[in-house]
Chains A and B, each alone.
Chain A
């Protein structure tokens, strides 16, 4: 399955893909997502599932069935935009709480024997060099923690360019 997580308005994204089906899941912002409250319940209460039941509790499980994760985000200060961050914050049940040491640094053990390819399309009309550098480092760190098969980072100065690159 392919997953697209994007922060575009419904009308901006309309017509980009056919209706969602078994092969494609689209996560977008309809103003109902709640913030992670740092309780670790997705590890120690209901392992694998977030305790906040707002429709976004199953992101960890979704990722375990994903072969290709595509993130489309406005680049803000070298970070993802709030909705994308919110989705990522709510997805840590994809990992286990337990630790491994990789290259001398601590990371989490994986819950699933599964890997997906990760690509991130940042858009914005005035992204600075410094912000691009930060964003690349951020995606590489995420890729490491999510055990993704590599990571690709793109910067676009218009939504039209994002659309052409993603489709």
Chain B
């Protein structure tokens, strides 16, 4: 099968969405042809849109933005709908891997519905969606084997996703948080992420709270 691996994060480098695709890659690469697409620096070309219309499967990984889809990815989806109407000849299955900043992966449910509605408009099959909470932890867990410790839920979900991609099936979506206590996540996100980054930038706590 021809599978498109689309990274819908706008970050110029190092996105959690890229890590999600990287985690899935070895589980689906055997016997399939995987092609990667990024839209963080520039929009897709007309040739790339046409290529997407000739794929068997689209995997779209993206971050949750304001409870929905990041604007640059949304622009791409709107354009792709037009191409799909004209260019598509075969059945295409769509799978999405969303990750969000807040702890609870279930907060991805609206973005998932929007993707489902998009598939309906395009005439594509929505296969399955995953939603990983506490997404910014992913970069710190790169050494942790999939399916273990905090990545236990992600491991199970990735297995289910890989299985469904192989068999071109539709399945229940899976929204989950890392296997890690929420208070510990919140503590380290507050101190080791926000405050530490601000400090590196020469800011104090009171600067962070600034009102304009």
Chain A residues with a Cβ under 8 A of chain B? 35-40, 43-45, 47-49, 58, 60-61, 64, 76-83, 85-86, 88-89, 91-92, 96-99, 105-107, 111-112, 128, 130-131, 133-134, 137-138, 141-142, 145
Closest residue on chain B to residue A143 by CB atoms: B67
The 10 closest A-B pairs by CB, nearest first: A86-B71, A85-B71, A77-B117, A141-B67, A106-B102, A35-B72, A61-B212, A44-B197, A97-B194, A77-B118
Per-position binary interface string of chain B over residues 155-183, scored 1 when its CB falls under 8 Å from any chain A CB and 0 otherwise: 00000000000000000000000000010
Residue B211 lies at the interface, judged by CB distance under 8 Å to chain A: yes
Q: For the complex, is B37 an interface residue (Cβ under 8 Å from A)?
A: no
- B67 x A85 contact (CB < 8 A): no
Which residues from chain B contact A82 at a C-beta distance below 8 Å? 71, 74-75, 78
Which one, A47, A106, A112, contacts B208 given CB within 8 A? A47
Quote the shortest CB–CB distance from B196 to chain A (angstroms).
Answer: 9
When the two chains form their complex, are residues B211 and A141 in contact, meaning their CB atoms are under 8 A apart?
no
CB distance from B115 to the nearest CB of A (A): 8
Q: Which of B9-17, B26-34, B44-52, B142-150 contacts A (4 or more CB under 8 A)?
A: B9-17
Task: For B21, list chain A residues within 8 Å (CB).
Answer: none
Interface size on B, residues (CB 8 A): 47
A77-B118, A128-B117 given. 14 additional CB < 8 A pairs?
Answer: A35-B71, A37-B40, A44-B201, A45-B203, A47-B208, A77-B115, A89-B70, A96-B209, A106-B107, A111-B211, A112-B211, A130-B116, A138-B110, A142-B66
Task: List the B residue with the shortest CB-CB distance to A78.
Answer: B117
Q: With an 8 A cutoff between CB atoms, is B124 at the interface?
A: no
**A43-B113 contact in complex given A37-B10, A82-B71, A107-B102, C-beta closer than 8 Å:** no
A92 adjacent to B66 (CB under 8 Å):
yes
Q: Which residues of B contact A138 (CB under 8 A)?
A: 67-68, 110, 114
- Decide: A145 and B117 in contact? CB cutoff 8 A: no
User: Is B85 on the interface with A (CB-CB < 8 A)?
Assistant: no
Chain A CB within 8 A of B35 CB: no
B186 within 8 Å of A by Cβ?
A: yes
Q: Which of B74, B186, B209 contacts A85 (CB 8 A)?
A: B74
